[in-house]
Structure 1
Amino acid sequence: MNKVNIVLFSDTVYDLNGVSRFLNDFAEIKSDNKFTIITSTKKTAFSQKENIYNTKPYFKISMPFYSELDLVFPNPFKMAKRLKQLSPNLIHISTPGPVGLIGSFLAKIYKIPKAGIYHTDFPEYIFKNTNSKLCREISKRYLRFFYRNFDAIFVRSDEYKKIVINDLKIDKSKLFTLKAGIDTKKFSPSFRDKNIWCNYRIKTDTLKFLYVGRVTKEKNIKFLIELFKEISLLGKPIELIIVGNGEFLKYKEELKKYSINFLGVKQAEELSKIYASCDVFIFPSTTDTLGQVVLEAMCSGLPVIVTNEGGPKGFVTFSNSGIVLDIKDKKGWLDSIIKLYEDRNLQNIYSQNAKTFMLDNDIKNSYEDFFMKNSLLC
């Protein structure tokens, strides 16, 4: 494989989300290939890296319907100058925001091949937050416009190929699946430490179900809360641990009586310990293209419960590491929670299968797969 020099443009690099963690993990890998990220943000959730070029935006606003992300207005001239200095043979666009638009425009100006990564299902996020089919259709039309002249589109899971073909009207010959991967050194059962629950005033001897991600409507957090309200009425020693930020955090105090615990945003080793010190991961989202947090949970040795929509179900089904359910089947979710509470042997089987599956899903394998497939485009 010839050496590849890729410059990736992204609107989300220092945000607290799976895409940002994925890109920062990529940026830490050393190889013969060259990988540089260009972004524009005032956020600082991750440490600065020499191969991430961050130009200060002129100004920013919160993204409509998705307030956790910023819409920034960057300096295109500084980005163009840096791009010329880097002289890539391929431009990658990670997000369809202002930074991605600039990257796409510069690729056209300098006649550099461009590819994209479809990280986020914005049409469904917008629909979940607005219940507006019109808003969903407008976002689909925008994405079709944005991606129409790309040489290739990478999706995060095979589940999303059909969605991208239908929603974006992309020819399937241009589609690639980017191998899933996380930094497996950061997530492991070895981080398990039941004493951490004392710090949060949570009982140490209960079965703990964990959710990690945005605590927002489009992630079906209301559904999750209602599930565990019903579970609490059964009087069993079961807790729900919620890690993340978002609109439902305001109910933190009143939900404690149902053994629902909001811990807020957690990072680094503290997050690793929380994963490994819980017993089951539960993820009711139907709009995730991959579900980075699901892979982190599996790497930590947790059985998982996910929906039958989106990217995570493929990993869970293939590895037999948990349970896949229809989001409309509330009884099925309740029964599965109780089943995993009562059957510790089943827990252990799912846990072992999850750990085995993740042996081949280190971020380095994803990185190598990424460059191998991109070398075909240069």
Structure 2
Amino acid sequence: MRVAIFTDTFIPQVNGVARTVGRLAEALACRDIPCLVLSPDTGLQGKYPFEFNFSPGFDLPVYHECKLALPSYPGICKLMEQFRPDVVHLVTEFSMGLCGLKYSSSYRIPTVASYHTNFPEYLSYYRLAFLTNWVWKYMRWFHNQCLINYCPSEATLKQLEKKGIRSLDIWGRGIDTALFNPGKRDFLFGDRVGAAGKTLLLYVGRVAPEKDLDILMESLRILNAANRDVHLVITGDGPQADVLRREAPPNVTFTGYLHGEELAAVYASCDIFVFPSTTETYGNVVLEAMASGLPVVGAYSGGVKENLVNRFNGLTCRPRNPGDMAAAVLELIENKGLRSLLASQARSYTLTKSWESVFNKLIEGYCRAIAGGNKLISA
């Protein structure tokens, strides 16, 4: 089996899609499955066990962490002729994904796609809601040409089903419980952010309107008005970061993007993970927080519902309800026994989330697509 992956985001870019695709490429290589990743130029350097090919590209105007590629279709065809893929995996629906779809359709290569980002839902956050129906029409056209369409969560699958997208299946996510581990706690972290003795709340993710951070900041104001000793750590960056830095109260620390051991240490050094986003297709950071031994207080919406179980590994809130979020945080501050129980159960829950089984299922799907695609081609 030979796999070509078309994506508009790839490592070392900092987002859940890029990191998942990077893990996938490594997992295929570990199984001696030749893999070629085609993406915009992300600046990746060094030796890797998989092949990659970059196209020129430019930053998206409102999403600078991702690029829009300008691939040369004749060049891609020549590259594919040399690589000779058995299956094409389309990770994103724009530029590179569209190029991959044109190639696989033209040369009748079995094709699967995965849905990672709720772009249609993002539009309202950028005053572009009038485009929503058109974007869903495009998504239907794109995905319904693929043999399998993978979703990261049951909630996302149901959403796509309602929108008329067919051949849906679940491709979940795993977690590296060795990296994200309560043992990475830095007991001096609170001192360094000026929050010694305070309850440390943590948000990790893109700092952007679609993450509903206005709800998180309003929740913090409610907690501050109640004279609670809390301190919020925001780890990430994005278009809303400058505004939040200017407007945030003194008990907020912005770390910017962190990676690897630094990121793991921040997770393990905080007390409660707060996640207001209602637009997630999965929410990788929720699993990272749980693996680090943090109870999660999150909006019960979208892909977050895949892992957040109320009063088992965290507390759920009504979507976009700052009062609910503040009340849940307050309960965990006042009830340390509950907080400890939820933290322990959150960690135990993630120990069942193996990347190995996640990738094995996807590779089985590739085999089904190849078998099904070959039958269609021979017919």
Do they fold alike, i.e. is TM over 0.5?
yes
Does the aligned pair in 1 maintain the 2:4–2:38 contact within 8 Å? no
Structure 2 residue 316 is the aligned partner of structure 1 residue 321: no
* Structure 2 residue corresponding to 1:148, chosen from 144, 149, 154: 144
Shift of 1:65: 4.4
Shift of 1:217: 0.5
In the other structure, the counterpart of 1:175 is: 168
Does the aligned pair in 2 maintain the 1:55–1:75 contact within 8 Å? no
Q: Secondary structure at the match of 2:108?
A: coil
Structure 2 residue 260 is the aligned partner of structure 1 residue 268: yes
Equivalents in 2 of 1:206, 1:46: separation in Å?
Answer: 41
Check 1:46–1:129 CA distance in 2 against 1; reply closer, same or farther (3 A cut).
Answer: farther
Equivalents in 1 of 2:70, 2:316: separation in Å?
Answer: 41
* Structure 2 residue corresponding to 1:138, chosen from 113, 117, 134: 134
In the other structure, the counterpart of 2:231 is: 239
Shift of 1:262: 1.2
Equivalents in 2 of 1:46, 1:56: separation in Å?
Answer: 14
Check 1:225–1:319 CA distance in 2 against 1; reply closer, same or farther (3 A cut).
Answer: closer
Does the aligned pair in 1 maintain the 2:218–2:322 contact within 8 Å? no
Shift of 1:26: 2.1
More moved, 71-80 vs 222-231: 71-80
Does the aligned pair in 1 maintain the 2:282–2:306 contact within 8 Å? no
Shift of 1:56: 3.5
More moved, 250-259 vs 311-320: 250-259
Q: Secondary structure at the match of 2:81?
A: helix
Structure 2 residue 126 is the aligned partner of structure 1 residue 101: no
* Structure 2 residue corresponding to 1:158, chosen from 154, 157, 164: 154
In the other structure, the counterpart of 1:27 is: 25
Does the aligned pair in 2 maintain the 1:179–1:369 contact within 8 Å? no
Query: What code does the residue aligned with 1:160 have?
Result: T
Equivalents in 1 of 2:8, 2:199: separation in Å?
Answer: 38
Equivalents in 2 of 1:184, 1:79: separation in Å?
Answer: 38
Structure 2 matches for 1:335-354, cutoff 5 A?
335-354=327-346
Does the aligned pair in 1 maintain the 2:38–2:54 contact within 8 Å? yes
In the other structure, the counterpart of 1:196 is: 189
More moved, 333-342 vs 317-326: 317-326
Shift of 1:198: 4.2
Shift of 1:272: 0.7
Runs of 4+ more than 6 Å apart? none
Equivalents in 1 of 2:311, 2:170: separation in Å?
Answer: 18
Structure 2 residue 76 is the aligned partner of structure 1 residue 79: yes
Equivalents in 2 of 1:358, 1:127: separation in Å?
Answer: 33
Shift of 1:64: 4.8
In the other structure, the counterpart of 2:38 is: 39
Shift of 1:45: 7.0
TM-score, normalised via structure 1 length: 0.91
Q: Secondary structure at the match of 1:334?
A: helix
Q: Secondary structure at the match of 2:159?
A: helix
Shift of 1:165: 1.2
For this pair of structures, how many residues does the alignment match?
Answer: 368
Shift of 1:210: 0.7
Equivalents in 1 of 2:360, 2:34: separation in Å?
Answer: 12
Equivalents in 2 of 1:338, 1:370: separation in Å?
Answer: 41
Shift of 1:331: 2.0
Query: What code does the residue aligned with 1:219 have?
Result: K
* Structure 2 residue corresponding to 1:293, chosen from 276, 285, 289: 285
Equivalents in 2 of 1:204, 1:56: separation in Å?
Answer: 48
